[in-house]
Chains A and B, each alone.
Chain A
Amino acid sequence: QKEVEQNSGPLSVPEGAIASLNCTYSDRGSQSFFWYRQYSGKSPELIMSIYSNGDKEDGRFTAQLNKASQYVSLLIRDSQPSDSATYLCAVNNPNSGYALNFGKGTSLLVTP
Chain B
Amino acid sequence: GAVVSQHPSWVICKSGTSVKIECRSLDFQATTMFWYRQFPKQSLMLMATSNEGSKATYEQGVEKDKFLINHASLTLSTLTVTSAHPEDSSFYICSARASYPYGYTFGSGTRLTVV
Contacts and interface: CB of A to CB of B under 8 A. Distances in A.
B22 to A, nearest CB: 15
A43 B107 contact: yes
B93 A46 contact: no
A1 to B, nearest CB: 10
Contacts of A99: 34, 46, 49
Interface stretch (A64-72, A77-85, A100-108): A100-108
Interface string B66-89: 000000000000000000000000
Contact of B43 (A43, A49, A102): A102
A96 to B, nearest CB: 11
Closest 10 CB pairs of A and B: A104-B43, A43-B109, A102-B43, A102-B44, A43-B106, A43-B108, A99-B46, A99-B34, A98-B97, A43-B93
Interface of B: 6, 32, 34, 42-46, 49, 57, 91, 93, 95, 97, 103-104, 106-109, 111
B109 to A, nearest CB: 4
A35 interface: no
A100 B104 contact: yes
Nearest to A97: B49
- Determine the main DSSP class of A at the interface with B: loop
Interface residues of A, number: 18
A42 interface: yes
A101 B44 CA distance: 8
Contacts of B44: 44, 88, 100, 102
Given A34-B103, A101-B46, 5 more contacts: A44-B44, A46-B103, A98-B49, A99-B34, A100-B44
Contacts of A104: 42-43
A37 B106 CA distance: 12
Interface string A88-99: 100000000111
Contacts of B32: 98
A34 B57 CA distance: 23
10 contacts: A34-B103, A42-B108, A42-B109, A43-B109, A49-B103, A88-B44, A99-B34, A102-B44, A103-B43, A104-B43
